[in-house]
Chains A and B, each alone.
Chain A
């Protein structure tokens, strides 16, 4: 092309008759092109802002939350003194149970004293101050351990105690010598002791399964709080949602898509469904509170009620996606079935529904994922507060006894003004997101795998 452009580039080209040469940009074109570039830059900037926010969010979640999965433990040799725990010496469980956690505290103090003596530490701390490095639940931990096997009384056992959240924060860099200036829960001298114990290997930070599987703990003991029980609460709610929303949603979609005549009733139902999909979730919470709890007197905070509320909230999503997948099954399939003498009902249930099943499943999973992350309605039906402290025993209790749910538990932790709980809230979000990502991935795989092009 070069030769021609040279040939035609001269202003005196004989072929030119009117207008200006194309080879020179006019000032106006330059201005317009600059505007064009600016406009494109805005677009790129907008996408950049969106993606940047995503990155910041993800970095934040993982940066703040990963700590929740590890916990600081202090390993001590504890002498389970028979004279304190079982004065009669007959290992009678009932007698041993009479010793309260206060009875165990001295054992722990003693263990610290021994440790300090062994290591020849001159911290000048009293044993009680040393024992304060442990979680407030340390004595209870030890008691449970002894009650599980009374034969251990009299022995000296190596026991791994949960460290106090301040010690844990020190290990994770959240607590520093500067930041404890006004903190009466821990002193610089205690941190010196921790430093020595770290060097010696007594204080260690390891993976903490109790966060994933354990129960919530009171706001004095962030180090012991876990999300496991509220996870069960979420699970029971999801079971309720799945058991109700899927059949009802599919039935409603089948009627609207396959049987409904075009009339005012159908119109009303359709408009209703698309509007329900956009009703704020908190309104469903109000509905749940008013109908299920105040009117029907179902128990407060029960996963059953949570599940019912989330079912009503998820139904429109499931109906909309189910109708889309029913619609994508070509009419020829129905004609074929009717043609061999099947009734309309048989054609739908035997042929259309199985073909639409992957799409329905995908929509259901996405609806469930939405329900799993929903918080606002759960606040109103009382699934929040320090209630996820005991794992339910059995299905009936799982449905009816008070519990929390993962997002509500996260909210509860975020409300407790202690950075140690904030870490757990972020950690809870990681777990919640793992569930959501798994569900959405599953949905994408299902869609890819079974997507049919007619």
Chain B
């Protein structure tokens, strides 16, 4: 990993810079640290940071940008007529990358020398077979345009890498030299270091924005690719989800959305009454010690990883439901309504259990924010506690509770493991909660795991599903946070 070595080099130079800068400052003050403008460590940090920060930043940006630039340069080499019917530039480019990777592996394993890899010609050698021997499977025979593009790809990448190493090393040493030269006893090292640190702090804070941008962009690009390959009307308004890796898939989000919403609805049907009543009891009735005991116990449910709930759904709740609703005359009800353990009800109930503490602790906060004066006013008129709660406290807390329920709904919609393990894989519109159905998140997992081909609509649809999910949950969250905030302001 040469890049790792480059980082080690930068770190080592910075460490040397720290010692050197500190020493130079002290020397310039004749060894008396009181004569310095700043504490000696700041001179050291100034040199170290000057060597470290710009070079690492450039390194990071370079690593992010290089693949894109290389891609651009190479894709320019592929003439439009070299792109076969029923294919796209993106498809051809992914072939190019596969071939380039294959050549890399071949060189690494010694099957080809560097010269051979550069000189290899598609019309002379059966590249597909040779790479196949090395475990690099290619979908079709390598055409000469693709091969030369791949060779070009490798070459530009190698050049870029060399250039990057040089630039980063130069920046490191240059930064060190510049800061070292500036170091003397009157140099305001602390101020400079502090400005640098502040810049780093701002950078860290902006990462949140970068992440969001990353999420949106990464999904948006692939979604655009998807809509080039597949009609958007089918995605948004079609009625069938039937991916077929030989092509001709019907990929409509609607049946998945139906499954998602149906399961979330059942989850809320479990979580909201239980969570709300638990919150009401804990905040309005329970004595201190009951509260101190029951509240943390309930919150344990929220800390349990979703994989545990998934297993619980698959292996415990599902079979238990089958025992009740299935198996014909052997079942508890003597009916045969349910055949497999996975169903809307299985996933919904387990997800509901998971959401109980979520709803209850949010509602608890919100109910507690209702001023005691409201309760006193109602009790003072001779209302019972439950009348007070139902007619005064809950209506007053309603906006906040609606917000909490929306947050819970967004959780339910985005939940993955429980539905992957408990809901099943059949996309359909059905009202029967005992049937298997599938959700957006399960389909994302199944389309993106296993053998994926990032040029086929069947894989790319996952990104379109992902961005829909993101928009859906984001909308719910923003709405919920807005409502909750408005509600809080009302009582502040």
Contacts and interface: CB of A to CB of B under 8 A. Distances in A.
A–B direct touch, CB within 8 Å, in complex? yes
A49 to B, nearest CB: 5
Interface string B453-484: 01000000011001001100110011001000
Contacts of B473: 278-280, 283
Given A282-B416, A290-B219, A315-B208, A50 B356 contact: yes
Q: What is the interface of chain A mostly: helix, strand, loop, or mixed?
A: helix
A269 B305 CA distance: 28
A283 B417 contact: no
B1 interface: yes
A243 interface: no
Interface residues of B, number: 92
B449 interface: yes
A276 B208 contact: yes
Contacts of B381: none
B306 to A, nearest CB: 7
A407 interface: yes
Interface stretch (B74-82, B141-149, B385-393): B385-393
Nearest to A249: B204
Interface string B260-278: 0000000000000111111
Contacts of B386: 35-36, 38-40
Contact of A312 (B63, B211, B387, B407): B211
Interface string B201-245: 111111111011011001101100000000000000000000000
A43 interface: yes
Contacts of A440: 303
A217 interface: no
A375 interface: yes
Interface stretch (A74-82, A152-160, A163-171, A292-300): A292-300
A61 B304 CA distance: 12
A208 B230 CA distance: 53
Interface string B378-401: 000000111101100000000000
A287 interface: yes
A252 interface: yes
Interface stretch (B25-33, B128-136, B174-182, B293-301): B293-301
Given A35-B386, A345-B198, A282 B414 contact: yes
B280 A283 contact: no
Nearest to A52: B353
Interface string A357-391: 00000000000010011111001101010000000
B483 to A, nearest CB: 14
A25 to B, nearest CB: 12
Contact of A287 (B4, B218, B304): B218
B207 A47 contact: no
Interface in A26-72: 32-33, 35-36, 38-40, 42-47, 49-51, 53-54, 56-57, 60-61, 64
A100 to B, nearest CB: 24
Nearest to B4: A396
B281 A44 contact: yes
A384 B448 CA distance: 12
A248 interface: yes
B183 interface: no
A375 to B, nearest CB: 5
Interface residues of A, number: 87
A296 B277 contact: no
B51 interface: no
A414 B407 CA distance: 30
Interface stretch (B110-118, B163-171, B309-317): B309-317
B285 to A, nearest CB: 6
B58 interface: no
A47 B298 contact: yes
Contacts of B310: 375, 411, 414
A362 to B, nearest CB: 14
B16 interface: no
A375 B298 CA distance: 23
B357 interface: yes
Given A286-B463, A343-B194, A414-B314, A36 B278 contact: no
Interface stretch (A127-135, A176-184, A426-434): A426-434
Interface string B81-109: 00000000000000000000000000000
17 contacts: A43-B284, A46-B278, A46-B281, A49-B274, A51-B297, A54-B300, A56-B316, A247-B204, A248-B207, A252-B205, A273-B208, A276-B212, A287-B219, A376-B417, A376-B441, A432-B307, A436-B305
Interface of B: 1, 4, 63-64, 67-68, 190, 194, 197-198, 200-209, 211-212, 214-215, 218-219, 221-222, 273-278, 280-282, 284-285, 294, 297-298, 300-301, 303-308, 310-312, 314-316, 353, 356-357, 360, 384-387, 389-390, 407, 410-411, 413-417, 420-421, 441, 444-445, 448-449, 454, 462-463, 466, 469-470, 473-474, 477-478, 481
Q: For the complex of A and B, list the 10 residue pairs with the smallest distance between their C-beta atoms, beginning with the closest.
A: A280-B414, A43-B281, A373-B305, A46-B277, A290-B218, A251-B204, A39-B386, A255-B201, A376-B416, A252-B205
Given A282-B469, A373-B306, A375-B307, 9 more contacts: A33-B384, A36-B386, A46-B278, A47-B278, A47-B281, A50-B298, A53-B301, A275-B477, A286-B463
